[in-house]
Amino acid sequence: MDDGPESPEEVALDFHPQAVRPNFLWTAKLPTHWAFLDTHPSRWKRQLDRIVEEYFAGRRAPAAERRILLRHLEQLVQGAQNQKVLFTFLMPGVVREGEVSACTVFLRWQNSSPTLASLRDLEATFGPSKELVHYRTGAGDPYVAFSETGKTGPLTDRRPIFHHQAFVPIPTTTWTLAVAGSAPTEETSQHVRDVVLRIANSIRAYPETTGQRILGDPESGELRSDGTSAVRYVSP
């Protein structure tokens, strides 16, 4: 996944207007070498064409494969919009006689108001059915994660899909950040899990800034949001 050194570049990422998010400052380290799937209503169609072109750059590919990948990306955008996902990242691909394969990672905020976010509630929700693993972020806040294997594809050709999720409750608030990743193969599953945990470990939240517009200067590879529609993000 090392694409070589690049010059730092500050870019703006806009939230989908319906995406749920808190109104206090928070930061996260994002997977900079994955494709960012922009779900904003005014831009997503143009951006999907660019992702497809970049994926097939330098090689000829059947038009059918391009259409399959584009259709798959459209489905991802629709799903992210319907679930009010904040950010979607992916590594697209086409395998097995034109079937689309893509690793995906989603960031979605959940608001449990009026109940404060807590590890206990997460354990009560997932504990009986999931093998939860407990971690702490770099800031020392506890969170939980789990992995599971599901099935995808048509009934006549079911195949495994590997899911990894982490839930980071923000102390003293009603907000929890969910980071979810999916991988189509066992070979890519570990990488997706590592990305999910790196994002969760990097979360920093500053509830005391609620309602303030404070972004400051982000570090390389760091996203900073104060809950407004625009965020600042520096690629490494």
pLDDT for the residue 10 = 46
Tokens of 19: 């995406």
Of residues 189, 18, 171, the one with CA closest to residue 108: 18
Does this model's pTM top 0.85? My answer is no
pLDDT computed for residue 61 by the predictor? 61
Our separate counts of H helices and E strands in the chain read 4, 12
Domain ranges of the chain: 9-235
| Structure tokens that stand for 5 in this block | 């050194």
Instruction: Read off the pLDDT of residues 140-151 as tens digits, 9 standing for 90 and up.
Output: 999 999 999 988
138 vs 53: which has the higher pLDDT: 138
Q: State which fold the 9-235 domain adopts.
A: Jelly Rolls (2.60.120)
Q: What is the DSSP letter of 16?
A: P
SS3 137: coil
Q: Which residues pair with 27 in a beta bridge?
A: 204, 224
Residue 222: the pLDDT is 57
Under the banding of pLDDT at 50, 70 and 90, the label for residue 136 is very high
Q: Is the dihedral of CA 69, 179, 203, 139 positive or negative?
A: negative
Across-strand partners of 94?
Answer: 100
Q: What is the predicted pLDDT for the residue at 224?
A: 58
Whether pLDDT at 43 is above 90? no
> Does the structure show a pLDDT above 60 at 221?
no
Give burial (CB, 10 Å; 0-12/13-18/19+) of 187: exposed
